[in-house]
Chain A
Amino acid sequence: MAQATEAQKIQLLQDLEIEMMADMFNRLTTSCHRKCIPPVYNDSEIAKGEAVCIDRCVAKFLDIHERIGKKLGQLSMQDENLLKK
């Protein structure tokens, strides 16, 4: 892998992005299932309340993901600036 071409590098990064997106999605699924679906299985349909909960849960999860991403971005910028000094 030491002499990877540009195309191979881009391919690697794209694969990584998909893999991480899938990982994030799996975590989101587990978290929101735990928070929104009570373990009482009397009905095979998603109840109205559960559907609303899922909508809010996904919105909040993605919001948090974005905020933490921004924070990490800021921190790594700070680190880079410190290294330059």
Chain B
Amino acid sequence: MDIYTNYRNFKDFLQLYNQMTDTCFGKCVDNLYSRQLEPNELSCIEDCASKFIKFNSKIMTTFVEVQNTIVQRRMKDMEEQLKMEK
């Protein structure tokens, strides 16, 4: 892997990390009566973070699958159109 790909991957990872904090903070913190995180907020964040990671990998595999079928369909359509033109 060249340095540009590495850099890009690392940057995407960090961006996801920030987004994860943002999302889980928004969903798990419902009151600000204390500076410390409460036990229910802690378990919520634990679950939110794990779910975010799993969601991310799931959506990636699904995207690749669907994208592949779309590309294949387009190729087929184009071939058929070429045949029609001939």
Interface residues of chain A, those whose CB is within 8 Å of chain B, are: 1-2, 4, 9, 12, 16, 20, 23-24, 27, 31, 35-36, 53, 55-57, 59-61, 63-65, 67-69, 71-72, 75
Residue of B nearest to A9 (CB): B3
Bound-complex Cα distance A46 to B26 (A): 22
Q: Which residues of B, 3-22, contact A by the 8 Å Cβ criterion?
A: 3-4, 7, 10-11, 14-15, 17-22
CA distance A19 to B18 in the complex (A): 11
The closest CB in chain B to the CB of A17 belongs to B14
B residues near A, CB below 8 A? 2-4, 7, 10-11, 14-15, 17-22, 24-26, 28-29, 32-37, 41-42, 45-46, 49-50, 53
Chain A facing B: main interface SS: helix
Point out the residue from A1, A23, A31 that lies within 8 Å of B4, measured CB to CB: A1
CB–CB B22/A68 < 8 A: no
Contacts A16-B14, A31-B26 known; A68 to B32 CB distance under 8 Å? no
Give A52's nearest chain B residue, CB to CB.
B32
- Closest CB-CB distance, A29 to chain B, in whole Å? 11
Q: Which residues of A contact B21 (CB under 8 A)?
A: 24, 27, 61, 64-65, 68
